[in-house]
Amino acid sequence: MPRAVRGLIGLLAFGVVWEAAVAAGLLPARFLPPPSVVLAGVVELFAQDAFLRDVVATVLAWAIALGVAVAVAVPAGLVLGSVPGVRAASRVLVEFLRPIPSVALIPLVVLLVGGGPEAKITLAVYAATWPVLYNTLYAVGGIDPVLRDTARTCGAGPLRTMLAVALPHAAPSVFTGVRMAAAIALIVVVSTEFLAGASRGIGNVVLTASSGAGRSDLVLAATLAAGAVGILINEGLERLGERLFGRSTRSAEPV
Amino acid sequence: MTAVPPQTTQHMLDVRHLRHTYGDGPDAHAALDDLSFTVAAGELACIVGPSGCGKSTLLRTVAGLLAPGGGDVLLHGTPVRGVPADLAFVFQDYSRSLFPWLTVRRNVEFPLNWRSLPRAERRDRAQQELERVGLPDVGGRYPWQLSGGMQQRVAIARALATEPALLLMDEPFASVDAQTRFELEDLLRRVQRERGTTVLLVTHDIDESVYLADRVLVLTGAPAGLLADLPVDLPEQRDQIATRESAAFVALRAEVARLLRTRSPGARSPSGGRSPSA
Amino acid sequence: MRGWPVVLAALVLGEIGTRVAQHPFFPSPSAVLATAAQVWLTGPPQRLLLADPVFDDVLPSLARALGGWLIAAVLGVTCGVLLGRSRTALDYVGPLFAFARAIPPPTLIPVFLVLFGIGTRMQLATIVFATVWPVLLNTVDGVRSLDRVQVDTARSLRTPRPWWIGMVVLPAALPDIFAGLRLSLSIAVILMVVSELVGAANGIGYELLLAQRQFDFPLMWAWIGLLGALGYGLNALLLAVERRALGWTALHGTGR
């Protein structure tokens, strides 16, 4: 049995069990609607123009945030990684800043840059920069000194060394960091939409659906949509990574 | 399954018409082809053959780690299904066979853990085994702190801790340097003679097979069949220098080498032509 | 140890920068530290000078984060071992898990809210849901990458199943498991805060939100700083435990 079929069976089995549990009264239908109702909710959402625009808004914000994060973190990581001692010296600072959840900064950021998409993009940039910077820094710092010396003896200056040796060598690691950053950025964008509620997006749909009388089926439907976007992005990046680097960049540590 | 002829029940190990093929269809790779031999209790038998001929497959089948595609393995007259109780296996790659998170002593104790022995007795037996292989003081260290030869001694100690009737060894000394190899060969003979354990050892080293064995079983190339079963007529006490210089050793060694070069009287190997490295 | 000069330098720069800029949103580090001391360290001596907010907010938050993380750890390792040992089981649950992982955990908070109401149960549910994946998947990875020779060795010794799992599979998978546990721990802290922002009556996230609503910026930054310190401290603790448990990987070459 091919793997895809097995996976499908797993999904179906899960749906069937859930459906049965609700029908048997084990799960509250109002708060945890069965898959049949949720899927109907998905259809309902996607039939609305407004929702499609929400999806686009989320994905657009995600793309911008990721782009900015990569544009900032990769050069910074390259430069800092090439300077000996930076890794060790910055370790403590990085370990202090990493646990601070970007969502904790939402009100501050909203006050600073306004409540619209700027807030979620700013926060997503902040959150997504770390994995890329971290991975670039460590990959560059871990380059075999023999490679560097070889470049030097060939007459390459520091900039050329960086571009011709450091960057290609660190590229797979950087890409793994980008994949992690992509997942984090999406989560932050959707979470900010949900928690701050001031801009369009899938998270905002969840917020609207969950407030007031609450439509749990739409909440779950929107959540599913967010998950689907996440999977598409992840799969897409994985394929891209395999094409670029010729082997699986599937890291052992998932996000 | 062939019926059991009465006289073979006296052999400890009885391998009959063993066959095994990996995969199926056009990519199928036949590893063993109608291999039959016996090993008597207390014997040290060496299996030697060209590389890739299926020696490891044979050993894994005898150990019960692999179910053969055809034929049978009988230990004490009973067919082997899964790993039998009084059998132990020593692998070539000692660094991966010893558990790195356990000390040397705990590694040796490992097979004793579920045999309802009080802790003190387990420790004592492990310590005894370590002393028998010449490592009285390393119980508290970790495997990676020992040299390759010492690690393989620990692996042997662990294998013997359960006092098996049959010890299988898959190229056990291939990953150590020559000097250590000689020490380990002598250790093995000594330990085997002391305890009367039956040993079936696979090697690609012709000299080693003749030096160690009571019998040398020469295999053909893949798929492996039995090319020759040579009794080793060397003195009981063997010495790395004297024995290896003796005429009997040289003759036997040459015989094995010749057999391996021609590979088989009936041209069994599919490619023909190429002679293996002696 | 070598990282501390940079932290000090950052603090000094921050002090100078914030005093010069005089922006209300960014009080100077000294002001923040003073607020922190005032809020947390003005308690009675017999309680180590710790004031009420420590007991009313910090400890419950920590308990939730650690509790959720531990539950996720047990769940993740158990399921991971079960899944990792079966060839096909992972195929069946693969897409299901991929979906569950991809869902941003904060979006499930409304669901957990209506199921459990405001409070600890909702938070634990959120934390467990979000943190179980790294542990589970890393455990599966660790179990699957078991060395072939070790498997054969254990089989040749006729190792009974409990001993096999407890003394071979788990120790061999431990480096991977710990990596998953560390990632889970940082996620647990984040989700503890997020769930408290939405549905709690006490806790670090709750106080953080309160401070922000009252525009009390030094207090807000104090809570944020505490978050960073807690995250750092917990991670360092876990690393220390990991180093002791994995001492054998030091020279074996499988350390991460």
Stronger pLDDT, B178 or C21, i.e. the higher one: B178
B23 pLDDT band (50/70/90 cuts)?
confident
Residue A166 lies in a domain: yes
d(CA C157, nearest CA chain A) in Å: 30
C168 touches chain B (CB under 8 A): yes
Looking at the domain assignment, is residue B105 inside a domain?
yes
Question: Cα-flanking dihedrals φ and ψ of residue C88, to 5°?
Answer: -90, -20
**The two three-digit tokens of residue A193, written as one number:** 């939409």
Test mutation, C148, C150, C152, chain B, max B CBs within 10 A: C152
Number of structural domains found in chain A: 1
The answer to whether residue B57 scores a pLDDT higher than 60 is: yes
Q: What pLDDT does A169 receive?
A: 78
Q: Cα separations (Å) of C110 from A227, C131, C182, C222?
A: 16, 18, 27, 28
> Is the pLDDT at B277 greater than 90, yes or no?
no
Looking up residue A73, the CATH number of its domain turns out to be: 1.10.3720.10
> How do B166-170 and B87-90 pair as beta strands?
parallel
* Residue pair A196/C106 in contact by the 8 Å Cβ criterion: no
Tell whether the torsion through CA atoms of B127, B129, B132 and B136 is positive or negative.
negative
Q: DSSP letter for C219, please.
A: H
Candidates B62, B65, B80, B99: best to mutate against C (most CBs of C within 10 A) is: B99
Q: How many CB pairs under 8 A join A and C?
A: 187
| Residue B157 within a domain | yes
Instruction: State the best of A5, A96, A126 to mutate against chain C, taking most chain C CBs within 10 Å.
Output: A96
The token duo for A29 is 């239908």
Nearest CA in chain B to C168: B99
Degrees, nearest 5: CA angle B19-B23-B27: 110
Tell me if B181 sits within 8 A of B187, measured CB to CB. no
Residues of C (40-79) whose Cβ lies below 8 Å from B: none
Domain that holds residue B104: 96-164
Contact (CB, 8 A) for B121 and B146: no
Note whether B160 and B191 are within 8 A (CB). Answer: yes
CB-based contact A28 C115, cutoff 8 Å: yes
Chain C environment of A206 (Cβ under 8 Å):
107, 110
Any domain includes A87: yes
pLDDT at B261 over 70: yes
C249 shares contact with chain A (CB less than 8 Å)? no
C10–A93 CB contact, under 8 Å? yes
Instruction: Find the chain B residues whose C-beta atoms sit closer than 8 A to any C-beta of C.
Output: 60, 63, 65, 83, 85, 87-89, 91, 93, 96-97, 99-102, 110-111, 113-114, 142, 144-145, 162
Asked if C22 has any chain B CB less than 8 Å from its own CB, the reply is no
In this complex, the residue of A10, A107, A206 whose CB is nearest that of residue C92 is A10
Tell whether A216 lies on the interface with C, counting CB pairs under 8 A.
Answer: yes
Residue B10's pLDDT band, with cuts at 50, 70 and 90, is low
Cβ neighbours of A42 in C, within 8 Å: none
Chain A within 8 Å of C216 (Cβ-Cβ)?
A: no
Q: Is residue B189 part of a domain?
A: no
The residue of chain C with its CA nearest to that of A29 is: C115
Q: What does the pLDDT read at residue B273?
A: 42
pLDDT above 70 (res B22): yes
Instruction: Work out the pLDDT band at B264, boundaries 50, 70, 90.
Output: low
Q: How many angstroms from the chain centroid is the CA of residue C10? A: 25
Which of B60, B93, B110 minimises the CB distance to C157?
B110
Which chain B residue lies closest to C170 (C-alpha atoms)? Answer: B101
In 10 A of CB B24, how many CB atoms? 9
Query: Are C156 and B162 in contact (CB < 8 Å)?
Result: no
Mark whether B and C touch (3+ CB pairs within 8 Å).
yes
How much is the average pLDDT of B136-143?
Answer: 91
Q: Is residue A254 part of a domain?
A: no
Of B98-102, B135-139, B163-167, C242-246, the one with minimum mean pLDDT is C242-246
Q: Can you give the pLDDT at residue B47?
A: 93
For residue A251, tell me if it sits in a domain: no
The model's confidence at residue A97, banded by pLDDT at 50, 70 and 90, is: confident
Query: Is the pLDDT at A44 greater than 50, yes or no?
Result: yes
Mean of pLDDT values over C223-247: 89
Q: Give contacts of C251 with chain B, Cβ < 8 Å.
A: 144-145
The whole domain housing A182 covers 36-245
- Dist. CA C75–CA C188, nearest whole Å: 14
| Domain presence at residue B202 | no
Who among B89, B99, B114 is closest to C160 (CB)? B114
Partners of C147 on chain B (C-beta within 8 Å) are 96
Name the token pair of B34.
Answer: 């109608």
Average pLDDT over residues B98-116: 92
Q: What is the pLDDT of residues C159-174, one digit of tens each?
A: 999 999 999 999 999 9
Q: Do A103 and C106 touch (CB under 8 A)?
A: yes
Please say if the pLDDT value at position C111 is more than 80: yes
Using only C-alpha atoms, chain C has a radius of gyration, in whole angstroms, of: 22
Short-list A119, A92, A94, CA closest to A108 = A119
> Which two tokens mark C211?
């401070």
Nearest Cβ partner for A6 among C91, C104, C213:
C91
Is there a domain that residue B109 lies in?
yes
* Model pLDDT, residue A84: 74
| Cβ–Cβ < 8 Å for B215, B46 | yes
- C-alpha dist (Å) from residue A7 to A3, A148, A226: 6, 46, 20
Residue that wins the pLDDT comparison between C87 and A44: A44
Which residue is listed with tokens 């002090």?
A: C15
For residue C1, what pLDDT band results from cuts at 50, 70 and 90? low
Chain C CA closest to residue B163? C157
Q: Which chains touch B (3 or more CB pairs under 8 A)?
A: C
Residue B149's H or E segment, with its range, is helix B148-161
Could you give the C-alpha distances from B53 to A247, B225, C96, C234, in angstroms and in order? 32, 9, 45, 55
Higher pLDDT among residues C61 and B267, named by residue: C61
Handedness of CA A98, A100, A105, A108 (dihedral sign): negative
Q: Of B101, B106, B122, B160, which to mutate for an interface test with C (greatest number of C Cβ within 10 Å)?
A: B101
Tokens standing for A70? 């990569």
Q: How far is A65 from chain C (nearest CA, A)?
A: 17
H/E run at residue C126:
helix C120-144
Residue of B87, B93, B100 with shortest CB distance to C252: B100
Cα–Cα distance, B257 to B259 (Å, whole number): 5
Residues 6+ apart with CB under 8 A from B208: B46, B173, B181, B185
Average pLDDT, chain C: 86
Nearest-angstrom CA–CA distance, A94 and C40: 25
Band (pLDDT 50/70/90 cuts) for residue B271 is very low
- Residue A19, pLDDT score: 87
Nearest by Cα to B45 from B214, B237, B192 = B214
* Mean pLDDT of all residues in C23-37: 85
Domain membership of residue B126 (yes or no) is yes
Which of residues 73 through 112 in chain A touch C, CB cutoff 8 A? Answer: 88-93, 95-101, 103-105, 107-108, 111-112
**Nearest C-alpha neighbor of B14 from the set B195, B188, B200, B156:** B200
What mean pLDDT, rounded, does chain B reach? 86
pLDDT digits (tens, 9 = 90+) for A129-186: 988 888 888 777 766 777 777 877 887 777 777 677 777 777 888 888 898 899 889 9
The whole-number pLDDT of residue C251 equals: 52
Strands B70-75 and B78-79, by their bridges, are antiparallel
C-beta of residue C206 within 8 angstroms of C-beta of residue C200:
yes
In the three-class reduction of DSSP (H, G, I as helix; E, B as strand; rest coil), residue B228 is classed as strand
| In a domain? residue B33 | no
For the stretch C35-63, pLDDT in tens is 888 888 887 877 777 778 788 888 999 99
φ/ψ of B218, rounded to 5, equals: -100, 130
Residue-range domains of chain C with CATH: 74-248 (1.10.3720.10)
For C88-110, what is the mean pLDDT?
87
Burial label, A74 (beta-carbon count in 10 A; 0-12, 13-18, 19+)? buried
- Integer angstrom CA distances of residue B148 from B137, C11, C238: 16, 52, 34
Q: How confident is the model at residue B268 (pLDDT cuts 50, 70, 90)?
A: very low
Q: Report whether B184 contacts B172 (CB < 8 A).
A: yes
Query: How does residue B121 score in pLDDT terms, banded at 50, 70 and 90?
Result: very high
